[in-house]
Amino acid sequence: MKKYLVYILTVMTMVVFGLALNATAEEGVTDTEIHIGQWGPQTGPAAPWGAVARGTDAYFKMINADGGIHGRKLIHHYFDDAYNPAKTKAGVKQLQEDTGMFAWVSGVGTAPGLAVKDYLMERKILWVGPSAGSRHWLEPANKYLFNTYPLYLGDAELLTKYAVETLKLKKIAVVYQNDDYGKQGLEGCEAELKKQGLELAIGLPMNVADVDMKPHIMKLKNSDAQAVLLFVGPGHVARLQGTGKAMQFEPQWMTSTTCGDHPLMMAITKGLYAGTISAAFGLMDPTNIGDIADFNKPTLPAMVKFYNDGYKKFAAKEERWGSTFAAGMGYVEPLIEALKRVGRDVTREKVVAELEKIQNFKSAMGTVSYTAFDANDPLCRIGQQEVFLVRAEPDGTSTILTNWYKTTYIPSGH
Amino acid sequence: MVEFLQMVLSGIAVGSSYALMGLGMVLIYKASEVPNFVQGEMALLPVFISFMLLTSYNVPYYIAFPATLIFAFLLGCFLEFGILRRAKEPNVLGLIIITIGMEMILLGFVSWKFGADQRAMPFPISSYDSIIIGDIFISTLDMLTLVVALVIMLSMFLFFRFSKTGVAMKATQMNENAAALMGIKTKQIRMVAWGISSMVGCVAGLLMAPILVEPYMMWDPMLKGFSGAVVGGMTSLPGAVFGAYIVGIVEHLFGGYVSLEFKSVVAFVIIVIVLCIKPSGLFARHYVKKV
Amino acid sequence: MDMKRDYYEDVRIFTSGAVIFWTGILLLLLAIFPFVAKNYYVYVVNFMAINVIVVVGLNILVGYTGQISMGHAGFFAIGAYGTIVLMTQAHFPFLLALPSAGLIAAFIGFLLGLPALRLEGPYLAIATLGFGITTTQIIGKIQMFGERQGLHAPDLIIGGWHIKTDKDFYFLLIPITIAMVIIARNIIKTKVGRAFISIRDADIAASTIGVNLTYYKTLAFAVSAFYAAVGGGLYAFVLRFIEPELFSMFMSVTFLTMVVVGGLGSIMGSVAGACLLGFLDLQLRNILEIPYFGDWIRMLSESYFTLTGASNIQLIVFGLILIVIMLFEPLGIFGMWIRSKKYWLAWPF
């Protein structure tokens, strides 16, 4: 009998403790802190994108220096997953189960994100602003997953539209990276061309490991393409433009948001990038068409503040002020806005409710709006749908070509 | 026809850098009998050193590049002398793992020191100019690579034929004990072979650098060089060069006429086909094992 | 002490009372582990167990038969994709889909073994490496396999047991792992295993005493492909999402590294190598959190290197561990174990 008593007592204490822990506060929120997690590759071939996580880190430190949010400091936990989904899952589990994260922000890459999406959603953990424009986040929509990155489909749509309608070009080609990102570029371009009554000149796949671009350029040349949309990484853009120049093939190059960092692109292409048109999701103010925007001299209020109080004070000394770094702020701003609106009483449900109330929120990125949750409506969690176009100038600045443009959502499989 | 010629020429151009990497691998395979997975990173570190010399210290080219080559030589010697030679009762697989370990260390070191961003390397000639013959283009950088590759191959040939060290190397590789009995310091010879191999790889790296410098830039050329060397037979220097050119040309023709997506794997299909016919590669004499 | 007097003594699993005792302890620890450890560590152990399956299989090929393979990520991918597709498209139950995918991979392994009959050393290395890379390329082209978008694992239900958490999966995975390890050991101790070893030591001599080289070499490939595929099928459910890029050349190289570091030609060595390197692979990302060492690295980064690249210290540490183990002990962890055992048995002499 005594034995049973011991068992019962143990179980009861455990239950009480468990309840007590749950009752006192939401996971990851204490009186003085809110714990927020993030992953991002700091090593491996995808390491250049890891700057997103470091940007978010500087942004949170800036907020903390300004006094935090309603008296609470943001504690940012980010780890290196080397773009390996197995490691992403390991890191997320460890931080979530050992330390307890209130929310996850950003997180570079479609594959790493997909490996942890179910894990986070089953546990009803908030995840804001995955750093990859994928339809996987929206189909089906998830109550706790808020997208901010505009889909690559939209980049391709606007670039194609601009090439056809404004530049009056008829032969459009696409070079796409052989993954979700590149395939979306191809799809978006084809859809827009169909609307315009045109055919794609040629679509060329590119493997991430490819370094020799001559076959691509030869095929592009044979197709007589006048404009080429590049849905590849910055390194491949540099290689393609260099090889193109050497083979005297110089069409209108156009690139997605991932290559929107003009100072970097100008440096690695040794100036060839000048004249390239790229899509942008924010970080600049496109209202005055024809204006010159210099990324190194930000004008948007949010960007100016982040540059002076975040980047200059909290970034490592060799950190480059680039769009990847700055986007680390852009992706997470909706969450911070919701945290500010929700007040002292922070729970996930309340923050979700506040996020759903965000309408036409505009800070560093384009207009962000969410609506009430409906699993069958991807648009309720899409956040931003706007992009604009800029042209790279020889001194690394950008000329604004279009104002914000609201892109169309194409469900997958259409 | 023009298209075909262009592809072949492009294939030869890219084959030249594969050939240099392949030469490096064969030199080491002959000396230490290990497929050298650190070949790419042995070139990577010197390339970054020269990048640093050129951009941070504004050292002129005619000093920076020779200094880099010397550094590469010393690095190669060190890896053999300081690490590989220390292995106790080595077996081939153990040695492979050691080269993989060295590869990780060098790669980690480069990424740690220089960060992950892509960069552009200053170079005396522009990589964007080309020579035009009829309708066929060849970029000046490719032309330079081709010429440098030919010069290195020729000097290699002369080195092994006429210099004392070269002959000693050949002797060591043929029969180490006999060579040692003839008074050749076989250990030193092996170290020098690593140094030379590293230098050859570094030349390839420097010729690839003007297009883009990033920590993971040497993986693909290293694999292709390895493939080329295997097609030619791991123990034959002319074989490695020939194999590398075959890989380069077939890759381009395949990419141009069949499929761009599978271009990067076609090299391995060639290998399997070639090896099924000649198991020790095209140029190496098939070594018949005895009991 | 290690003198074997007859065949039955050689094939016995438990060679002494001590072995029975320690096996019992190990099984007990494995059984209570998920109840005392944090869930995260259960995930890590699951991951390590999968590595154990693959590496034990690869060791049959590399360590016992003397063939090299740098393309086992290919078989791993076939197992992962095969299991999921057989479950979702052909509605096989998991316990049938897993070995079926294994058999498919074994058949492909047999086919790969055919050209490998004529190859050895670096020639075989590069041919198998090509196989690994080509497999993922082909998978990325097939619509049914989700092309480059990847596939999600379906729900896992065996009988009435709905496997959802890492802990549930642990109780499925560990028995499979133990069974696979014991089977591998039994293969080695029987006629087949002796044929493998004789091929490794001297293939021509082996064929003169009647070992069918064609049969046994391809068999070795098939068996190790089966192991890799079973590991792959389980991996798909640990990660619950797979895509072609996962099964890269680096993965193949890591498997080979585990075999060699664990100890060529030793089952227990493979288990140790897979556990050690698998653990490091997942856990090294926290290296900058280690007290003192992490701070020291940060300081060093600030003065001489870059802080943004400080995480690359993982690669350096991993490389150093590989080199140090291989420099001092060609037989890897197993060699160290043997050496220390001999030392203590003979102590104080």
Longest dimension (CA), chain B: 61
Does residue C284 sit at the B interface (CB-CB below 8 Å)?
Answer: no
Contact A248/B137, CB-based, under 8 Å?
Answer: yes
Consecutive H or E run containing C20: helix C17-36
Please list, in sequence order, all residues whose beta carbon lies within 8 angstroms of the beta carbon of residue C267, skipping any fewer than 6 positions away: C56, C59, C181, C184, C185, C188
A170-226: pLDDT as tens digits: 999 999 998 888 989 999 999 999 999 999 999 999 888 888 888 899 889 889 999
The residue-averaged pLDDT of B12-22 equals 92
Q: Tell me which of B230, B259, B260 to substitute to probe the interface with C (most C C-beta atoms closer than 10 Å).
A: B230
Consecutive H or E run containing A277: strand A277-280
N- to C-terminal Cα separation, chain C:
17
Please list, in sequence order, all residues whose beta carbon lies within 8 angstroms of the beta carbon of residue A56, skipping any fewer than 6 positions away: A38, A76, A78, A105, A106, A328, A329, A331, A332
Greater confidence, B132 or A78?
A: A78
Report pLDDT for A10.
Answer: 59
Contact C39/A180, CB-based, under 8 Å?
Answer: no
Task: Decide if B268 contacts C134 (C-beta within 8 A).
Answer: yes
Instruction: Kindly report the nearest CA distance between residue A68 and chain C, in angstroms.
Output: 24
Does residue A317 sit at the B interface (CB-CB below 8 Å)?
Answer: no
Instruction: Kindly report the nearest CA distance between residue B125 and chain A, in angstroms.
Output: 12
Three-class SS state of A392: strand
Task: Please give the residue range of the domain that contains residue A359.
Answer: 31-150+324-381
Residue A69 pairs in a beta bridge with A72
Chain C nearest-CA residue for A180: C149
Measured between alpha carbons, how far is C24 from C21 in angstroms, rounded to an integer? 5
Of B94, B100, B113, which is closest to C253 when you measure between CB atoms? Answer: B100
Contact A246/B117, CB-based, under 8 Å?
Answer: no
Task: Decide if C248 contacts C242 (C-beta within 8 A).
Answer: no
Within 8 A of A234 by CB-CB distance, chain B residues are 118
Same domain, A134 and A225: no
Q: Write the CATH number for A262.
A: 3.40.50.2300
Q: What pTM does this model have?
A: 0.91
Among A154, A404, A151, residue whose Cα is nearest residue A284: A404
Consecutive H or E run containing A77: strand A73-79
Please report the number of interchain residue pairs, chain B to chain C, with beta-carbon separation below 8 angstroms.
155
Please report the number of interchain residue pairs, chain A to chain C, with beta-carbon separation below 8 angstroms.
92
Contact B272/C130, CB-based, under 8 Å?
Answer: yes
Task: Decide if A351 contacts A338 (C-beta within 8 A).
Answer: yes
Number of other CB atoms surrounding residue B245 within 10 Å: 23
The one-letter amino acid at A281: F
Task: Decide if B232 contacts B282 (C-beta within 8 A).
Answer: yes
Does residue B90 sit at the C interface (CB-CB below 8 Å)?
Answer: yes
A123-171: pLDDT as tens digits: 999 999 998 888 889 988 999 999 999 999 999 999 999 999 999 999 9
Measured between alpha carbons, how far is C122 from B221 in angstroms, rounded to an integer? 17
Same domain, A331 and A349: yes
Greater confidence, A71 or B127?
A: A71
Contact B291/C261, CB-based, under 8 Å?
Answer: no
The residue-averaged pLDDT of B121-141 equals 85
Of A79, A86, A180, which is closest to C239 when you measure between CB atoms? Answer: A86
C-alpha to C-alpha distances, A232 to A15, A239, B2, C252, nearest whole angstrom: 53, 11, 29, 26
Report pLDDT for C1.
Answer: 47
Tokens found for residue A392: 């790279």
% of chain A with per-residue pLDDT over 70: 94
Chain B nearest-CA residue for A203: B260
C-alpha to C-alpha distances, B190 to A332, B37, B196, nearest whole angstrom: 56, 17, 10
Same domain, A122 and A264: no
Rg of chain B over Cα atoms, rounded to whole angstroms, equals 19
Report pLDDT for A336.
Answer: 92
Is the residue at A16 inside a domain? no
Window B:191-220, CB contacts with C under 8 Å: none
B221-251: pLDDT as tens digits: 998 999 999 888 888 888 899 999 999 999 8
Task: Decide if C179 contacts C83 (C-beta within 8 A).
Answer: no
Q: Helix C332-346 crosses helix C313-328 at what angle (to 10 degrees)? A: 50
Instruction: Kindly report the nearest CA distance between residue B101 and chain C, in angstroms.
Output: 4
% of chain B with per-residue pLDDT over 70: 98
Tokens 């895509």 locate to C243
Tokens found for residue C162: 């709905």
Report pLDDT for A21.
Answer: 46
Cα-flanking dihedrals φ and ψ of residue C244, to 5°? -55, -35
Instruction: Kindly report the nearest CA distance between residue B130 and chain C, in angstroms.
Output: 33
C-alpha to C-alpha distances, C204 to B290, C61, C122, C207, C210, nearest whole angstrom: 7, 18, 20, 5, 10
The one-letter amino acid at B259: S
DSSP readout, A185-252? Answer: HHHHHHHHHHHHT--EEEEEEE-TT----HHHHHHHHHTT-SEEEEES-HHHHHHHHHHHHHTT---E
With bands split at pLDDT 50, 70 and 90, how would you rate the model's confidence at B289? low
For chain A, what's the residue count? 414
Instruction: Kindly report the nearest CA distance between residue B127 and chain A, in angstroms.
Output: 7
The one-letter amino acid at A66: D
A380-391: pLDDT as tens digits: 999 899 999 999
Within 8 A of A206 by CB-CB distance, chain B residues are 260
The one-letter amino acid at B159: F
Number of other CB atoms surrounding residue A30 within 10 Å: 15
Chain B nearest-CA residue for A318: B115
Tokens found for residue B250: 């077939």
Measured between alpha carbons, how far is C310 from C8 in angstroms, rounded to an integer? 55
Measured between alpha carbons, how far is A237 from A216 in angstroms, rounded to an integer? 12
Task: Decide if A49 contacts A324 (C-beta within 8 A).
Answer: yes
Chain A nearest-CA residue for C151: A114
Within 8 A of B13 by CB-CB distance, chain A residues are 214
Same domain, A254 and A395: yes
Report pLDDT for C145.
Answer: 83
**Chains touching B by CB (3 or more pairs below 8 Å):** A, C
- Determine whether C64 is exposed, middle or buried from the number of CB atoms within 10 Å of its CB (0-12, 13-18, 19+): buried
Contact C285/A81, CB-based, under 8 Å?
Answer: yes
**Chains touching A by CB (3 or more pairs below 8 Å):** B, C
Contact A114/C245, CB-based, under 8 Å?
Answer: no
The residue-averaged pLDDT of B128-146 equals 86
Same domain, A173 and A113: no
For chain C, what's the residue count? 349
Q: Residue-wise pLDDT tens for chain C (349 aa)? A: 456 777 777 777 777 778 888 889 999 999 899 888 888 899 999 999 999 999 999 999 999 998 889 999 999 999 999 999 999 988 899 999 999 999 999 999 999 888 888 887 888 888 898 899 889 888 888 888 877 778 888 888 888 888 888 888 999 999 999 999 999 999 998 899 999 999 988 888 888 988 898 999 999 999 999 999 999 999 999 988 888 888 988 899 999 999 999 999 899 999 999 999 999 988 888 888 888 888 898 888 888 888 888 889 999 999 999 999 988 888 889 988 888 888 888 887 7
The one-letter amino acid at B266: V
Predicted confidence (pLDDT) at residue A300 exceeds the cutoff of 50: yes
Chain C nearest-CA residue for A136: C149
Measured between alpha carbons, how far is B169 from B160 in angstroms, rounded to an integer? 8
Tokens found for residue C128: 């198998």
C-alpha to C-alpha distances, A401 to A279, A287, A362, C59, nearest whole angstrom: 10, 10, 20, 60
The residue-averaged pLDDT of A320-331 equals 90
Rg of chain A over Cα atoms, rounded to whole angstroms, equals 23
Report pLDDT for A9.
Answer: 53
Q: How many domains does chain A have?
A: 2
Within 8 A of C44 by CB-CB distance, chain A residues are 90
Chain A nearest-CA residue for C141: A178
Instruction: Kindly report the nearest CA distance between residue B65 and chain C, in angstroms.
Output: 23
Same domain, A256 and A401: yes
Report pLDDT for C183.
Answer: 94
Same domain, A336 and A401: no
B54-91: pLDDT as tens digits: 998 999 999 999 999 999 999 999 999 999 988 888 88
- Determine if the peptide bond prior to A334 is cis (ω within 30°): no
Task: Decide if C270 contacts C228 (C-beta within 8 A).
Answer: no
Tokens 């190859």 locate to C119
For chain B, what's the residue count? 291
Among C22, C49, C45, C50, residue whose Cα is nearest residue C34: C45
Q: In CATH terms, is domain C39-346 a member of 2.60.40?
A: no
Please list, in sequence order, all residues whose beta carbon lies within 8 angstroms of the beta carbon of residue C341, skipping any fewer than 6 positions away: none
Contact A319/C140, CB-based, under 8 Å?
Answer: no
Report pLDDT for A3.
Answer: 57
Instruction: Kindly report the nearest CA distance between residue B148 and chain C, in angstroms.
Output: 27
Number of other CB atoms surrounding residue C1 within 10 Å: 4
The one-letter amino acid at C226: F
Of C122, C257, C326, which is closest to B87 when you measure between CB atoms? Answer: C326
Please list, in sequence order, all residues whose beta carbon lies within 8 angstroms of the beta carbon of residue A249, skipping any fewer than 6 positions away: A217, A220, A221
Contact C133/B280, CB-based, under 8 Å?
Answer: no
Same domain, A250 and A104: no
Tokens 């990125």 locate to A365
Chain centroid offset of residue C151 CA: 23
Within 8 A of B261 by CB-CB distance, chain A residues are 178, 205, 207
Window C:225-254, CB contacts with B under 8 Å: 253
Tokens 């009803």 locate to A124
Contact A114/C246, CB-based, under 8 Å?
Answer: no
> How, if at all, do strands A103-105 and C156-158 pair?
unpaired
Task: Decide if A43 contacts A87 (C-beta within 8 A).
Answer: no
Task: Decide if C139 contacts B262 (C-beta within 8 A).
Answer: no
The residue-averaged pLDDT of A7-20 equals 51
Report pLDDT for A22.
Answer: 44
Contact B226/C318, CB-based, under 8 Å?
Answer: no
Measured between alpha carbons, how far is B48 from B55 in angstroms, rounded to an integer? 10
The residue-averaged pLDDT of A261-273 equals 89
Report pLDDT for A7.
Answer: 60
Please list, in sequence order, all residues whose beta carbon lies within 8 angstroms of the beta carbon of residue C11, skipping any fewer than 6 positions away: C186, C189, C190
Is the residue at A175 inside a domain? yes
Contact C130/B111, CB-based, under 8 Å?
Answer: no
Within 8 A of B35 by CB-CB distance, chain C residues are 121-122, 125-126
Of B132, B212, B215, which is closest to A239 when you measure between CB atoms? Answer: B212
Same domain, A245 and A192: yes
Measured between alpha carbons, how far is C1 from A387 in angstroms, rounded to an integer? 77
A120 φ/ψ sector (left φ>0, alpha ψ -120 to 50, else beta): alpha
Report pLDDT for C141.
Answer: 84
Please list, in sequence order, all residues whose beta carbon lies within 8 angstroms of the beta carbon of residue C122, skipping any fewer than 6 positions away: B29, B35, B226, B230, B234
Report pLDDT for A414.
Answer: 64
Task: Decide if C62 contacts C253 (C-beta within 8 A).
Answer: no
Does residue C209 sit at the B interface (CB-CB below 8 Å)?
Answer: no
